[in-house]
Amino acid sequence: MSHRTISQNTKQILAKYKLGLKKSLGQNFLTDDRVLERIVDAADLDEQAGVIEIGPGIGALTERLSERAKKVVAVELDQRLIPVLREIFEKQSNIEVIHGDALKVDFHEIISENFGECNSIHVVANLPYYVTSPILIRLLEERLPLQNIVIMIQKEVADRLVAKPGTKDYGSLSVLVQYYTETSLVTKVPSHVFVPRPNVDSAVVKLSRRPEPAVNVSNEGLFFKIVRASFAQRRKTLLNTLHSQLFSHLAKTDVAEFLTQAGIDPQRRGETLHLAEFAVLTEAWERFSQGR
């Protein structure tokens, strides 16, 4: 395969290897060179960087990543694509192709075995809709030593990741991602630049890992329980949704008292709270429950 030709020859490569794409795996291959370059630029790679690419497909992004980084480990779920990728990149020693499920592979092991000489580690991925949230949650909650996560995802999910309080897209996923990272929208990606063409537009989002979480909480598990409960019934007040979802063992008046002591109006809705206010609720509950 000659230099940088995969994106322009996607249909020919698929025909050569007799590859029919699987809708069940959300396979849509990006063919736009400008978008590919913007993804790589967003990752802020240098010649000492290590990259885990999730879902390389037939390698259009992989070849660009390998030009910028010291080492690229491409994790592909579709067994049929493994020999294709290995043949395409057989002469590029800094690309390792692994067959595996990103929801199950041991990322700590991948990092320890491949990136010992790298000064930074990044994840770059084109994630299908049905696994976007679980993969993201796993990457963040496992506390992997990542500098950046740059992902191309369905636009409506991207909107949720970067959403601000008080907007319709703001939810528990927004809070979780923004707790661990600084989020930014890199670019929107129209559906016509994929093969095959999906039914929805996509977007590229950059998540830069914070040195420390955005807010300090003494009980991280409780923090996320409160966040999830607060968004479980979006149209209800915090008083009602927290009572029904998390504190049903208490009288509603007690929940109202807890919220008031925390300085949070019980009639507010979860979507109006900033991360700092969720942290305040967490600490306030710790004090309130201990005093009972």
| Known binding residues for S-adenosyl-L-methionine | 28, 30, 55, 76, 101, 126
Residues 6 or more apart from 81 whose CB is under 8 A from it? 19, 56, 57, 58
Examine residue 196 and say whether the peptide bond preceding it is cis (omega within 30 degrees of 0).
yes
For residue 239, the surrounding DSSP H or E stretch is helix 238-245
204 closest CA partner among 156, 160, 150 = 150
Read out DSSP for 111-179? HHHH-TT-SEEEEEEE--GGGHHHHHHHHHHTT---SEEEEEEEHHHHHHHT--TTSTT-SHHHHHHHH
Residue type, 129: Y
Q: How far apart are CA 26 and CA 199, in angstroms?
A: 11
Burial 170-190 (b: 16+ CB within 10 A, else e): bbbbbbbbbbbbebeebbebe
C-alpha angle with apex 14: 11 to 18, nearest 5 degrees? 140
Residue type, 187: T
Read out DSSP for 61-107? HHHHHHHHSSEEEEEES-TTHHHHHHHHTTT-TTEEEEE--TTTS-H
Q: Classify residue 214 by burial, with Cβ atoms within 10 Å: 0-12, 13-18, 19+.
A: middle
Residue positions forming the annotated binding site: 28, 30, 55, 76, 101, 126
